Amino acid sequence: MITHKPSPHGAAAAKHLLDIQAVHLRPEDPFTLTSGRLSPTYVDCRKIISFPEARNALMEMAVECLDQAIGLKNIDVLAGGETAGIPFAAFLAERTGKPMVYVRKKPKGFGRGAQIEGDFPDGARAVLIEDLATDGGSKMLFVNALREAGAQCEHTFVVFFYGIIKGAIEALAKENLTLHHLASWHDVVALAKKQGAIDGERLQAVQSFLEDPEDWTPNL
């Protein structure tokens, strides 16, 4: 079930993720996602930082995505979410010449007790940068911290969005948050089929999950 608008960068981004083996399939021993759901699949976007060619290409796509969807002139600060979002925010800040901050999951228990490291003026237009999103719900922890600190945060960007959870985009919209992404499972599966990168049994498990992620259970 695809519940979002496809990304123009989807196929190219998916190729890089498959090339660096960031796509993991384990239907016999499912992953537990941040949302608590079981999944036969997982995309490890953290691997991107170790592959310069893929990293550079994906970050170029990310800059294009942000510019086309929001307009770089309308972004005052890029905010990386602890921990996976921090390197991507740094890469994008360097490419765009934008200030960067990072947001902790909770205030640190010493020193200034800060939850946000870095600085921005009151009313700054911030974009939350993360590695991936399943239903997007966890993004609100960081977004609310930014808003409470005085930022305007109406956009979040991820490299990979599952794009299969019904109502995910609508739920974020109710929080005045728009999610932007490079690739989704639709893109990865379409390319993997074309390349023959997924065997029949595993492909069947993945497709079963994509069609009904809420009720998917492993076939052990």
**pLDDT tens, residue by residue, 152-177:** 999 999 999 998 888 999 999 999 99
DSSP 74: G
Encode pLDDT of 96-148 as tens digits.
Answer: 999 999 999 988 654 455 899 999 999 999 999 999 998 888 899 999 999 99
pLDDT of residue 2: 45
Dist CA 107 CA 105 (whole Å) = 7
Quote the pLDDT of residue 39.
86
**Rounded mean pLDDT of 5-19?**
92
Give percent of the chain above pLDDT 90: 63
pLDDT for residue 79 is more than 90: yes
Q: Residue 110's pLDDT is what?
A: 46
Q: 38-71 burial, b if ≥16 CB within 10 A, otherwise e?
A: ebbbbbbbebbeebeebbebbbebbeebbeeebe
Count the helices and strands in the chain (H runs, E runs): 7, 10
Predicted pLDDT at 218: 75
DSSP per-residue codes, 143-166: HHHHHHTT-EEEEEEEEEE---ST
- Examine the pLDDT at 3 and tell me if it is beyond 60: no
Tokens of 164: 């299969």
- Please tell me the predicted confidence (pLDDT) of residue 4: 59
Q: From 2.102.10.10, 3.50.50.60, 3.40.50.2020, 3.30.499.10, which CATH number describes the 10-211 domain? A: 3.40.50.2020
Residue ranges covered by each domain of the chain: 10-211
pLDDT reading at 1 higher than 50: no
Q: Across residues 3-19, what is the average pLDDT?
A: 88
- Mean pLDDT (whole number) for 42-46: 95
Amino acid at 3: T
Q: How confident is the model at residue 212 (pLDDT cuts 50, 70, 90)?
A: confident
Query: What pLDDT does 83 receive?
Result: 94
